[in-house]
Chains A and B, each alone.
Chain A
Amino acid sequence: MSSRGKKILLGILGALALILAAELIGRLGLAGKAWPAPSDAIFSVLGNKLNSALLFRSLGATLVSAGTGLLIGSVAGVAVGFLGFLFPVLRPGLDQTASILNTIPLVALAPLLITLVGPQGMSVLTAALGAGFAMFVATASGLLAVSPAHSDFFTVSGASRLQHIIRLSLPSAVPSLLGGLTLAGSGAVLGAVLGEWFGAPSGLGVLMISSMQNFQVKLLFVVALTAALVSLLAFYTMVAIQKLVGRRFA
């Protein structure tokens, strides 16, 4: 067997072992009542019309917040990164602030953010923050990733600063921007779910909290699984886009 085939086989085996372990722990009740067998939880939640409707409505709300946040955050992150590129005086301050803002826990920012946008807007805003940081870093480093030889050629050929930026810096930044998007996608999903914990009317985060407090363990399990899947999907969609588009710019 080829080494690639062996690798894929082992990977599948590892994943199966994990799923099997989760199922066994649930069936044998090893972790108590709070760990249902995944298959049982999925069937009973999806089989119940009320629960599955609730799940899909919440999923929709979270997707809208995460998507809106991803869009806003990406535009803002790229814009601020570009600002630092155009005005180098601002760059040290922007870098410093971005890494500090990224370090400050969401809970600490929550009162400030809630005063700004209210509890309904929290999930979009936190999703935007999660995505924005990744895009800012990607833009800031991508715009500087110009090969010196190309830059010299542009200068020697008498290119203006505008031509320099549009024809050289921007295309060179594309791979880095795509890399940033892979982080921004799952960052936005996480941000949206966390933001919903601060008083959003609906969403996966809200459903998670309510099912935790009401001891609906099966629902809680399925909601958490859904959130994880959405995050995974966001990540791998971005990776696919990166592969498709990145080939032209590599």
Chain B
Amino acid sequence: MRQTSRYTPTARALHWLMALGMIGTFAVGIYMHDLPLSPQKLQIYSWHKWAGVTLFLLLLARLAWRITHQPPAPVAMPAWQKAAAEGVHHLLYLLMLAIPLSGWLMSSAKGFQTVYFGVLPIPDLIGKNPELGELLKTAHMGLNFFMIALVAAHAAAAVKHHFIDKDDTLRRMLPGR
């Protein structure tokens, strides 16, 4: 009965890699935006953008993996919980897509092209436009705070299933074995 059908090692690796990457990039984003102008600020901004592009690429790999590999059937739980979990998962995917895109567009609108690792220029989809830049900045920020709220709910649910319901929800995604 206890046969744990878990996510594939690749799916788990991508999940935790992106979780760490997103939390780190989010923290850097919060930290950097108030800094007084300095070479360090310019470096940190570039690192943040490179991290964002990397997370976007990881997301594409993750989506490709998800489409080609069935996730394990959900652990038995009330229907509303299943629906809520699914809804949050979809929103998380949507935000993982929208957040780097909004950052990239904001960067272009503010007149700073994104040059991946200082080597690969990523084309500007839109031209320099300060008003639009401010708007996209608000969007980028709003999407991020929404994301953090959803991640908190997602993590809280996983912890609740693990310690209170004592089911396999979290174990399916944990690394190892």
A and B assemble together: no
